[in-house]
Structure 1
Amino acid sequence: MFTITIEKECGCFKKSDFENNRNFENKDDALIEAKNMVKVMNDEWCQKHEFIFSEDGQNFQIAVNERTKAHSGCCGGGHCS
């Protein structure tokens, strides 16, 4: 049995159709689903958090971190200030 676990269920997760502690019989199916979840969570959700995938044997963990502040768009060339 392979399990996808979300470390912390943020508001966006609770509103989604995703399920925490979801079990799969097949490792490939669990891996595909976990990577798909992380992509959706990082690309389509509110951008307050960053979601990071890791694998430990039969467990797939999705960690939740606060996003660092968005960069200003400045390239650092000194002409923006």
Structure 2
Amino acid sequence: MYKVNVSNPCSCFIRNGFVESQEFTTKEEAKEEANKLMQTMKSNFCQKHDFSMSEQFGDFNIYIKPRR
């Protein structure tokens, strides 16, 4: 199983009904969902946060950090 995990979810993330962890049967599905989620957050959220993503052992970790 491959996972997409979101660390430190902001209020926009929660308000939009997203979940902090999802599992997928293929790495390609997980990567596609992680990229889709990153694009949605960058274009539709309040712009008070920065988003970054890393891959580790086939799992995709998305980090939400306050902008400086």
TM-score by length of 1: 0.78
CA-to-partner distance for each residue in 1:12-42, whole Å, 9 max, x for gaps? 1111132211000011010000011011101
RMSD of the TM alignment (CA)?
1.0
Structure with higher helix content:
2
**Does residue 9 in structure 1 map to residue 5 in structure 2?**
no
Q: Specify every segment of 5 or more residues in structure 1 that has no aligned partner in the other structure, as ranges.
A: 69-81
> Would you identify which runs of 4 or more consecutive aligned residues in structure 1 move more than 3 Å?
none
Bigger Rg, structure 1 or 2 = 1
Structure with higher strand content:
2
TM-score by length of 2: 0.91
Corresponding residue of 2:59? 59
Count of residue correspondences: 68
- Greater relative contact order (Cα 8 A, min sep 6): structure 1 or 2? 2
- Percent of aligned pairs with the same residue? 31
Q: Take 1:18 and 1:24, find their aligned partners in 2: how far apart are those partners?
A: 15
Q: Take 1:17 and 1:30, find their aligned partners in 2: how far apart are those partners?
A: 18
**Does residue 20 in structure 1 map to residue 23 in structure 2?**
no
